[in-house]
Amino acid sequence: MTTPSAEGARPADAGRASPPDSHVTDATDGADAMDPDNTPQASTDPPASDPSAPPLLSLVDIGKSFGPVRVLSHITLDIPVGQVTAVVGDNGAGKSTLIKTISGIYHQDEGQILWQGRQVHLHTPKDATDLGIATVYQDLALADNLDIVANMFLGHELVKHFQLDEIGMEKSARQTLADLSVVTVRSVRQAVGSLSGGQRQAVAVARAVMRQAKLVILDEPTAALGVTQTRVVLDLIKRLKSQNIAVIVISHNLNDVQSVADRIAVLRLGRLVAVGPASQYDAESIVDLMTTGTSKRLAATPAEPSAGSSSEH
C-alpha cells in the first residue's frame, strides 16, 4: 500500500530528470526496486538557481553488505551544489558506511553513483579526491608534530627549483584560511598539536578547500568541542556553503544540524526513511524517525522499514 503524502510532498527522487549520457533507471523500476512501503518521506526542496542542472552528487538505489549483514538498502539521495545536507541516524544506521562509499573506501554492491549527472565508479579514495570529494573524518588525520602549512600540503607539497617552495606554500595556506575567515590561528607556522579542537577542524577543512574540493564531507565535526569551538566550526560550514561548496554533515547533535543544514536525511537500519528541507523537521520528529522510522509530527509518514539486521561500519 502506498504511503499517504501531504500536498507538496514527494519522494526524494521524484521529478528528477534522468541525467544525460547515463544508463540510470528510476529507483522505483525493475526487479530490485525499492518497495513502495519503504519509500522515504520527503518534500520539494527550494528551487535551485538552475533547475535543469543535475545535482552535484546522486546516489541511486545504493546497497552494501558485509557478508550476511545488510548495511545499506536502496539509498537514493541527491546532494545539491552549495547546500548543507545533514545525514543523521542512530548508531548502526549506516552513516559511516554511506560516507565511506561516497569517499571511495568501500564500493557499493548495488546501485549507481552519479557525479554532475554522469555515472562514476569510486574504487579508491583517490578516485573520489580526483572528482573533488574531500572527507574530514573525526580524527582529522593531522600530524601534531608538523605546523599548519606542512599539514595543509602534506603529500601535495609545492616544489620550485627542485626545492620545497616554503614561501609559496605559506602564502597559499594563509590565503586559504583568510578566505574561510579563520582568524583565531596565531601563525601558520604554529604546530598543529598546540591548536584547539575548533582550530584543528578549521585546518582540516582548509586543507580540503585548498585542494579544490567541490563536496566536503564532515564526520561529527563538533564532537567533543566546547561551545566557542563549536561556533567556529558551524560558521566554517556556513562559509563553505557561501563559496558554493556542497557539504555533507554527519552529526548526532541535532542542535548543530538544525543550525546549519538546508536539507536533512534520516537513516534507520541502513534505509533512508526521510529526506527533505530542514524546515520540515524539528528535533522531536527527527528523533522519532531515527528510532521508529515514522513520526506523527509530520504531514506525511514514511512506512516502517522492513525488519532485518544492520550494522554500521
Which range of residues forms the domain containing residue 18? 3-132+214-309
Query: Do 8 and 88 reside in the same domain of the chain?
Result: yes
pLDDT value, residue 15: 37
Query: Do 227 and 204 reside in the same domain of the chain?
Result: no
Whether 74 contacts 61, CB under 8 Å: yes
Q: Is residue 138 part of a domain?
A: no
Whether 274 contacts 302, CB under 8 Å: yes
Give the whole-angstrom CA distance, residue 66 versus residue 313: 9
Q: Is residue 137 part of a domain?
A: no
Query: Do 12 and 156 reside in the same domain of the chain?
Result: no
Q: Of 192, 211, 230, which one is at a domain's C-terminal end?
A: 211
Give me the tens of pLDDT residue by residue for the chain, a chain 313 residues long: 433 333 333 334 433 434 444 333 333 343 343 344 444 544 433 334 465 678 999 999 999 999 999 999 999 999 999 999 999 999 999 999 999 999 999 999 999 999 999 999 999 999 999 999 999 988 778 999 999 999 999 888 899 989 999 999 999 999 999 888 888 888 999 999 999 888 898 899 999 888 889 999 999 998 878 888 888 899 999 999 999 999 999 998 899 999 999 999 999 999 999 999 999 999 999 999 999 999 888 754 444 444 344 444 4
Query: Do 117 and 226 reside in the same domain of the chain?
Result: yes
H or E element that contains 79: strand 69-79
pLDDT value, residue 52: 63
Query: Do 59 and 207 reside in the same domain of the chain?
Result: no
pLDDT value, residue 50: 60
* DSSP bridge partners of 163: 160
The C-alpha cell that represents 1 in the structure block: 500500500
The C-alpha cell that represents 297 in the structure block: 509530527
pLDDT value, residue 279: 92
Q: Is residue 139 part of a domain?
A: no
Number of domains in the chain: 2
HSE of 146, CA atoms in CB hemisphere, 13 A: 12
Q: What angle do CA 62, 64, 67 make, to 5 degrees?
A: 160
**Length of the chain counted residue by residue:** 313
* Domain of residue 36, CATH code: 3.40.50.300
Q: Is residue 262 part of a domain?
A: yes
Query: Do 8 and 94 reside in the same domain of the chain?
Result: yes
Whether 313 contacts 50, CB under 8 Å: no
162 Cα distance to chain centroid: 38
Q: Residue 65 class from Cβ within 10 Å (0-12 exposed, 13-18 middle, 19+ buried)?
A: middle
